[in-house]
């Protein structure tokens, strides 16, 4: 059995989708559905069972999963970068992950977990996923810090030689619909064009960046799922790895591609950045994926244009609300 926490969420449900494509259905999905619409992500997926995340942890701590588990892919977390409750983030993202990692080590279960590119902070110390650089980074928000804390804890306890931590960059694509303000710019831009005929981007507050020329490493979720399963297929490859395209693109370019996918002339407006995020805003991110390539990952990565066109034309435009097998 393969356990996927956060399996009803954005990246998690895409991982289950990819597992289904590979003929894997013996999957336990762990999540917390609450009042959100992410339950809809489960409708097209095939899996053995679903369990609430708190009940799952109780069972793990009681020893209910000592055998029969091949791998634990831990994507579950609060990913809201504006969340202010530090205690909640520490319990949900840090302590919870520690418990699962310890269980996996005890029971010889393959453990793959989601870290985040947000752990790199403002990028002053680069985007290296080498172990020797781990202690340099200074996250800009509490979400990022909760992820960074586990990376550091895993290294201090010698676990990075037997588990895989994945630093996801800016992932977008199908099944992110439930994420509210944490959804990608692609879906927000699509909705804004449909409603107003334009896209609003943040003005730059740094002279070295023109408006809309701030850059991100945008990764299609289908590639994120494929990269994650590379570590399932190669259990001897461990440590922290960047999960991105290795190429930074501007917000202007992303916006223009959404217009192009809709066959509409671009109309971009620039608005002031909210005061509450000015100090924690990343102006540039770009994954160094050389370590991933050295580990043997050879699958082609979807270009930004192809990814945006697929998402807009095959999911958003026809209003397909889930990724199907």
Residues assigned a catalytic role: 143, 179
Whether residue 134 contacts residue 151, with contact meaning beta carbons closer than 8 Å, is answered with: yes
Phi, psi of 251 (to 5 degrees): -65, -35
Closest to 277 measured CA to CA, from 150, 143, 148: 143
CA distance 298 to 227: 10
DSSP 194: H
Residue burial 294-315, b: 16+ Cβ < 10 Å; e: rest: ebebeeebbebeebbbbbbeeb
Please give the span between the terminal C-alpha atoms of the chain, in angstroms, as a whole number.
Answer: 19
Query: Hey, what are 133's tokens?
Result: 């650089």
Residue 139 contacts residue 187 (beta carbons within 8 Å): no
d(CA 172, CA 289): 18
What residue has token string 């550091």? 152
Whether 109 contacts 235, CB under 8 Å:
no
User: How far is 179 from 147, CA to CA, in rounded Å?
Assistant: 19
Backbone angles phi, psi at 313, to 5 degrees: -80, -30
Angle between helices 221-233 and 10-21 (to 10 degrees): 60
C-beta neighbour count of 276 within 10 angstroms: 9
């Amino acid at each position: 059995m393969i356990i996927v926490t956060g399996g009803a969420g954005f990246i998690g449900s895409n991982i289950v989708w990819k597992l289904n494509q590979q003929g894997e259905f013996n999957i336990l999905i762990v999540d917390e559905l609450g009042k959100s619409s992410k339950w809809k992500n489960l409708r097209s997926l095939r899996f053995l069972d679903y369990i609430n995340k708190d009940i799952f942890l109780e069972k793990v701590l009681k020893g209910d999963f000592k055998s029969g588990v091949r791998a634990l892919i831990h994507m579950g977390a609060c990913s809201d970068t504006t969340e202010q409750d530090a205690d909640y983030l520490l319990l949900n993202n840090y302590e919870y992950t520690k418990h699962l990692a310890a269980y996996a080590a005890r029971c010889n279960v393959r453990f793959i977990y989601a870290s985040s590119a947000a752990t790199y902070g403002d990028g002053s110390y680069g985007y290296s996923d080498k172990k020797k650089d781990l202690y340099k980074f200074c996250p800009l928000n509490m979400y990022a810090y909760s992820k960074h804390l586990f990376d550091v804890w895993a290294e201090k306890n010698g676990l990075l030689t037997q588990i895989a931590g994945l630093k996801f960059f800016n992932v977008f694509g199908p099944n992110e619909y439930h994420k509210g303000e944490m959804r990608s710019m692609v879906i927000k831009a699509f909705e804004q064009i449909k409603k107003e005929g334009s896209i609003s981007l943040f003005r730059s507050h740094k002279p070295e960046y023109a408006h809309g020329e701030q850059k991100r490493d945008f990764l299609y979720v289908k590639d994120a799922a494929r990269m994650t399963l590379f570590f399932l297929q190669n259990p001897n490859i461990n440590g922290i790895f960047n999960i991105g395209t290795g190429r930074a693109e501007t917000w202007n370019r992303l916006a223009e591609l959404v217009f192009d996918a809709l066959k509409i002339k671009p109309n971009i407006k620039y608005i002031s950045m909210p005061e509450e995020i000015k100090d924690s805003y990343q102006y540039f991110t770009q994954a160094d994926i050389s370590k991933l390539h050295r580990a043997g990952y050879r699958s082609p990565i979807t270009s930004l244009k192809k990814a945006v066109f697929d998402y807009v034309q095959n999911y958003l435009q026809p209003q397909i609300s889930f990724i199907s097998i």
